[in-house]
Chain A
Amino acid sequence: MNRKDFIGKLSMLLAGLPEGERREAVQYYEDYLSDAGVGPEEDVQPILGTPEEVAASIRDGLKDEEGRQGVFSERGFSQADTGAKHEMIQEDLNRRYRDRSGADKTTGKKGMSGGMIVLLVLLGILAFPVLIPMAVAALVIAAVFLAAVVAVVVCFLLAGVLCVAVGVISLIAACTKLALYPAGALFLIGASLLIIGLGILLTMLLAWVTFKAFPAFMRGTVNLCSSLLRRKGGRAS
């Protein structure tokens, strides 16, 4: 392939890159071939390889930015011919420079935030009539949920206290009958102790639920809500 065709093909293969990038690259290779003393009709393939390879290496170098902007497809051409060493170098480069170009990108994106905020505010105003009933419904659901939780807690508490009370009473009763019916009384004492134990266990479980699990659950819910809000905020800015 002669020089003229090579440059033409390369320019064509780089279509879709930002115009500045394309011009820069084409000028570099024009310069390069001039400095290498290659005339317009001379074959450049032995020096530079195919235009496809060269274009792939240029696109590879820009891949980081392209990927983030999501404008260009990376696989519009074959990259298989690029040498392994070259790929390794590019990969390292990409990794090394990712941080800095990432920072560049975020500052670049801030230009859009003004319009986005206006749109979000507009959305908020328009959604107002829908939002109020939804907020009321959410509040009602939350109240019902809270009531249910309180009811369950109270039930457990009552059950535990009652178990302990019943156990103690029957223990006392059994002790008074120990002389009269030793076997039955012993059996009753055992059962009473069992019930007391169960009651204590229930109370402890309840204490654990109220003081450990419930706060943890609430914290989890709060975190979830705030993370959702934060993500929404991040999208806006």
Chain B
Amino acid sequence: MIFNTGAALLDAIVLAVVSRDAEGTYGYRITQEVRQVIDLSESTLYPVLRRLQRDECLEVYDREYGGRNRRYYKLTPRGDAQLKLYRAEWERYSGKVSSMFEGGKDA
């Protein structure tokens, strides 16, 4: 991809992906869904998830699946607030960039 994905945007995408399931979702699925939008290696996400967890934006719990425990990630209220902030910021930013591409009519 031509455009770099900064840390904040990656955080925002991860939070958005996790927030889509009220019950939470697991590492493999998060990775696959994030990989649909941005190009990253399959091992990039663990440190990000771990950090979001440490920052209390995500919480984890284990759930039985196919005879083993699978770790699920879920948004905390703090993570939810953070996601809202990211979303508002992204709308502002992407709107500005888009209007610039459209000839600066609104800018």
Residue positions of A touching B, CB distance < 8 A = 21, 24-25, 27-29, 31-32, 34-36, 47-49, 53-54, 57-58, 60-62, 83, 85-86, 88-90, 92-93, 96-97, 100-101
Contact = CB atoms under 8 A, between A and B. Distances in A.
A47 B35 CA distance: 13
Nearest to A104: B54
7 contacts: A31-B26, A34-B68, A54-B46, A83-B41, A89-B7, A92-B7, A100-B55
B10 to A, nearest CB: 6
Given A31-B26, A32-B31, A34-B66, 14 more contacts: A21-B50, A25-B46, A29-B46, A31-B71, A32-B42, A35-B26, A48-B42, A57-B43, A57-B47, A58-B47, A85-B40, A89-B6, A96-B7, A101-B54
Contacts of A31: 26-28, 70-71
B56 to A, nearest CB: 10
Contacts, number: 84
Q: Give the interface size class of chain B.
A: 20 to 34
Contacts of A83: 41
Contact of B41 (A49, A58, A62): A49
B44 A57 contact: yes
Nearest to A34: B68
A83 to B, nearest CB: 7
Nearest to B50: A61
Nearest to A91: B7
A88 B4 CA distance: 9
